[in-house]
Structure 1
Amino acid sequence: MYMVGSVPQGPEVVACYIRVHSNVDEDTTRYFADFEQEMKDRKVNIKGSSLTLVDSEDHHKLTVVQSDDLVPSTDFEMWHKCKEAYIAQVTDPHRGIPASELHVFPAEITACYYEAEMPVILEQDYRILHPEVVALLEDKERLEVFFRAVALGMIKVDDSKGQPYWAFKLPGDVDPLYVTVPSARLDGRSEDDIFDVIHNFVMEGHDQRPGMGEAKNVNWDKLRDAILVTQRELGKNKTIKRYQEEVDSPKGIIQKMRADVENRRSKVSNTNLRTVIGQEYLDLADLATVVYRVGISIVTDDSCPSRQTGDISSVWSVC
């Protein structure tokens, strides 16, 4: 999709990549050098280094890929026009199409659920989640289980053995599963990025120590059972308090993300740049807030989980 009149002169830049195993011997090197020059002679609109010969490990195939860059950066406002049209379509109460019906991949469909919930629960305008957040949404239940396990103390930063790392341990377990790997340096390192932590736990689900491979994995069934048991042992009021503290406490991951973004933005004078710095962390913080508030509303409800809507209510239940 292109703006009318945005590319009247054709592509702004044309690039061509030739991928082939060309350096077998002097003859093949010379042959493909001639081939490259012939391509440049025939395709005069490809300038200099924009036509590149790239080595390949495949000895039996030659691949030619050409790209036409049609839209100059001055015309990127069309993305915003398309975004506005999309939001208008999916939020129209009379003729709108459910956002999930316009997507194919599971992570995108899951994102549609949160994008619809955020305006209702957080009283915000409808917005599209940052791609970095969407990339974590392949499995909705596992993502939400991650946040519950954090609030219940099953996933946390462990600094008891030296350098801090994120550890996962079920009640009764002796050794933790390393969600991140502690630094080997004496002076340590900066804190683990929460996106890496979630990716390692939700997407990979195994111990991150070198040499462990997938020998030690997250047992998702045991984790769900442990959450249920812990919630029942805590009782309704204490369970709600744990989840609410994770939303409000300066020490919780949600407020830490918000504070970090605010600190980073405060150091930037350019207003336009400042508004986009750390948006992925604010989106993740809002998503996590939705997870906890939905959970709190379910725990607060006196009805049994079978009467709740949604596919995760049974994990929240303290009935």
Structure 2
Amino acid sequence: MELITFGESMVLFNPGSKGPLRYVNNFYKTIAGAESNVAIGLARLGHEVGWFSKLGDDEFGRYIKATIRGEGVDVSRVRTDPQNNTGLIFKERFAHVNPNVYYYRKNSAAANITPEDLDEEYIKTAKILHLTGITPALSQSARETVFRAIQIAKDNGVLVSFDPNIRLKLWSVNEARPVLLKIAESADVIFPGIDEGKILLGMEKPEEIAKAFIDMGCKIIAIKLGKEGCYVANKDQGEYVAGYPVDEVEDTVGAGDGYAAGFLSGILRNLSLSECAQYANGVGAMATLVSGDMEGLPTYLQLLEFIGKTEHIDR
């Protein structure tokens, strides 16, 4: 297994029309979840990936599992929780702005994940363990599970990848900061945005944010700068890598997960830091072209064509 990740995935209901949800009568159903987005993104790019979580013993849980499995991701370690439901999320859309999101995930099956749900032998098979800051925000047991997974990875030479992914609808800044910084200290690769640099470190300049994380022990820092691209660094170098222009953005949700998937694909392919960043910027940009969290994530050939590494043949 090249990469393993875990965390909550929910059934996403996208409105069929814009405006307040009280006036929306039709929705279309898909899935949402930062970790499963990364897993699906990497699977489409040609990698062997596993994702696990806890899902309710309900039709929504079965739908999530079948959808992720259908994308070529291994879901053999997913647990079913007969006592708690699968989480839900609704989007609310207005013209020319990012959608509002409403979570229905309190006491969900995924929030009740525990360290006992981890398969240590499974995690050992991975080259990379990818985590986000969403999972430790769900519950104390989920937080303990994250730290136990990190320990397993560290004990077995598995690279730890971490996207802080701060969700202030789930916890406060004061609660999040010490937990996320503790995870960051164990991360080999980290994907902060500028806003997360401000929250976690009180810093806004990419170079300062990167240096702070390097001083903590992180080996690679990839700072997301939106349409401008990213700033990437390790202890020996740092550089800005330009993004790819998108004329009409449909939905920015999932772009950060796509960025992480692209960068991690570069790492797994032993590419240079700047090439990893090009992959990341490309996947992140392509994710914004389509409505939905993971629907716009490209195949490897589509990515290469988008970033100009190979020629597109139309007919």
TM-score (structure 2 length as normaliser): 0.21
* Bigger radius of gyration among the two: 1
TM-score (structure 1 length as normaliser): 0.21
Q: Of the two structures, which has the highest relative contact order with CA contacts closer than 8 Å and spacing of 6 or more?
A: 2
Q: Hey, which of these two has a bigger chunk of strand by percent?
A: 2
Q: Hey, which of these two has a bigger chunk of helix by percent?
A: 1
